[in-house]
Amino acid sequence: MESKHFETQAIRTQADNSLYREHSTPIYMTSSFTFDDAEQARALFSDEIEGNIYTRFSNPNNNELVSKLCLLEGTEDGIPTASGMSAMFSSMAALLKSGDHILASRSLFGSTHQILTQIFPKWGIEHTYADIEKPETWESLIQKNTKMIFVETPSNPGLDLVDLEWLGKLAEAHGLILNVDNCFATPYLQRPADFGAHLVTHSATKFMDGQGRTIAGMILGKKDLIQDVRFFARHTGPSLSPFNAWVLSKSLETLAVRMDRHCENALKLAEYLEGHQELEFVKYPFLKSHPQYELAQKQMKKGGGIITFCVKGGIERGRKFLDSLKMLSLTANLGDTRTTVTHPASTTHSKLTEEERQNVGILPGLVRVSAGLENVNDILEDIENALRASKNASQVKVD
**Spatial separation of the C-alpha atoms in residues 109 and 324, rounded to whole Å:** 27
215 to 234: interface string for ligand PLP, x by CB under 6 A: x-x-----------------
**Spatial separation of the C-alpha atoms in residues 46 and 41, rounded to whole Å:** 9
Q: Could you give the angle at which helices 223-236 and 84-93 cross, rounded to 10 degrees?
A: 110
Shortest CB 396 distance to ligand PLP, Å? 36
Shortest CB 248 distance to ligand PLP, Å? 11
Nearer to ligand PLP, 152 or 382 (CB): 152
Instruction: Give, in degrees to the nearest 5, the angle at Cα 8 between 7 and 12.
Output: 130
**Spatial separation of the C-alpha atoms in residues 164 and 191, rounded to whole Å:** 9
By the rule CB under 6 A, 85 interacts with ligand PLP: yes
Q: How many CB atoms lie within 10 A of CB 395?
A: 9
Interface positions, 120-179, toward ligand PLP (CB under 6 A): 152, 156
Q: Do 87 and 203 form a contact (C-beta atoms < 8 A)? A: yes
Shortest CB 22 distance to ligand PLP, Å? 29
Query: What distances in angstroms separate CA 277 from CA 167, 186, 280, one per listed residue?
Result: 38, 33, 8
Sheet hosting strand 279-283, strand order edge to edge: 279-283, 306-311, 366-370, 340-342, 329-330
**Spatial separation of the C-alpha atoms in residues 68 and 244, rounded to whole Å:** 15
Count of residues near ligand PLP by CB under 6 A: 16
Instruction: Give, in degrees to the nearest 5, the angle at Cα 12 between 187 and 263.
Output: 35
Interface positions, 94-113, toward ligand PLP (CB under 6 A): 109, 111
By the rule CB under 6 A, 205 interacts with ligand PLP: yes
By the rule CB under 6 A, 203 interacts with ligand PLP: yes
Q: Using CB under 6 A, which of 64, 181, 209, 278 touches ligand PLP? A: 181
Shortest CB 110 distance to ligand PLP, Å? 8
Shortest CB 378 distance to ligand PLP, Å? 25
By the rule CB under 6 A, 183 interacts with ligand PLP: yes
Nearer to ligand PLP, 59 or 340 (CB): 340
Q: Name the segment binding ligand PLP (CB under 6 A); options: 9-17, 78-86, 233-241, 256-264.
A: 78-86
| Residue number of the CB atom closest to ligand PLP | 84
Q: Do 14 and 257 form a contact (C-beta atoms < 8 A)? A: no
By the rule CB under 6 A, 66 interacts with ligand PLP: no
Q: Is 261 helix (H, G, I), strand (E, B) or coil?
A: helix
Q: Using CB under 6 A, which of 206, 317, 343, 357 touches ligand PLP? A: 206
Nearer to ligand PLP, 9 or 203 (CB): 203
Shortest CB 87 distance to ligand PLP, Å? 8
Nearer to ligand PLP, 44 or 104 (CB): 104
Q: Do 28 and 60 form a contact (C-beta atoms < 8 A)? A: yes
**Spatial separation of the C-alpha atoms in residues 330 and 17, rounded to whole Å:** 41
By the rule CB under 6 A, 199 interacts with ligand PLP: no
> Rule CB under 6 A: which residues touch ligand PLP?
83-85, 88, 109, 111, 152, 156, 181, 183-184, 203, 205-206, 215, 217
